[in-house]
Chains A and B, each alone.
Chain A
């Protein structure tokens, strides 16, 4: 963290080597996060580039009161959500279907421990995971990814997405339930 602060300070003063180090420090995280939202490698690459352009352009405005990673997650999320708003909502499932949790819990026919392709290196599982998360509206997808996959706190997620804490909790609950149920269906 100290090293990061030093790099930011040097980069602000125009040190290109420090800026390169900052980019190298976060490029893989940003590329992965963009891919996880878009599920498309080309789009992920473009968003990664746009994110670092934005970072360089506004680095002098970065106060350092939050982590640089949080700031970058916000830029990626904004880029992805702006793109998603151009898509029709009919491309995604309605999460009103999640309301009936009682049935979802009772419908437990599949024993996940007996699924032979549980490794995420397996292409069959990757396809199931891609197909399921693509059905989820990006507004929900991004909450699930920031909280559960990237491990940010509810407060950090709320801050990045400019949502209230209860809204983050509600979207997270629905996203988790939808993904779990959709994967359960695919395992049948």
Chain B
């Protein structure tokens, strides 16, 4: 197991903290129980991650002429 591998407990604690819940509150305990059992939540979480990843990888290249035009308009040498 990797040293920095996140544990389920860390995930639950993070979610509860984000919600402003005490880690031992009834709500937090219920979340912990639900996450252990719910395939929908696991799948939802994974697809949100994939969504972010898609947008992260979708980049455009600065056209050479846009670079030249920029420097020229700023009075700088290319």
* Chain A interface (Cβ < 8 Å from any Cβ of B): 16, 19-20, 23, 27-28, 31-32, 35-36, 41, 44-45, 48-49, 52-53, 56, 104-106, 108, 112, 118, 120, 125-126, 129, 133, 144-145, 148-149, 169, 176-177, 179-180, 183-184
Contacts and interface: CB of A to CB of B under 8 A. Distances in A.
Contact of A32 (B48, B59, B70): B59
A149 B60 contact: no
Shortest 4 CB-CB distances between A and B: which pairs? A120-B57, A120-B58, A180-B51, A20-B76
Nearest to B65: A45
Chain A contact residues: over half helix, strand or loop, or mixed?
helix
A24 to B, nearest CB: 8
Of B43, B50, B51, most buried by chain A (CB within 10 Å of CB) is: B51
B74 A23 contact: yes
A183 B51 contact: yes
B62 interface: yes
Given A27-B67, A129-B54, A35 B60 contact: yes
B44 to A, nearest CB: 5
A32 B47 CA distance: 24
24 contacts: A19-B76, A23-B70, A23-B76, A27-B70, A31-B66, A32-B60, A35-B60, A41-B60, A45-B63, A45-B66, A48-B66, A49-B69, A49-B73, A49-B74, A52-B70, A105-B40, A148-B55, A148-B56, A149-B52, A169-B18, A176-B52, A179-B51, A179-B55, A180-B51
Contacts of B67: 27
A104 B44 contact: yes
B4 interface: no
Contacts of A108: 40, 43-44, 47
Given A112-B47, A126-B58, A183-B51, A106 B40 contact: yes
A15 to B, nearest CB: 11
Contact of A36 (B40, B55, B74): B55
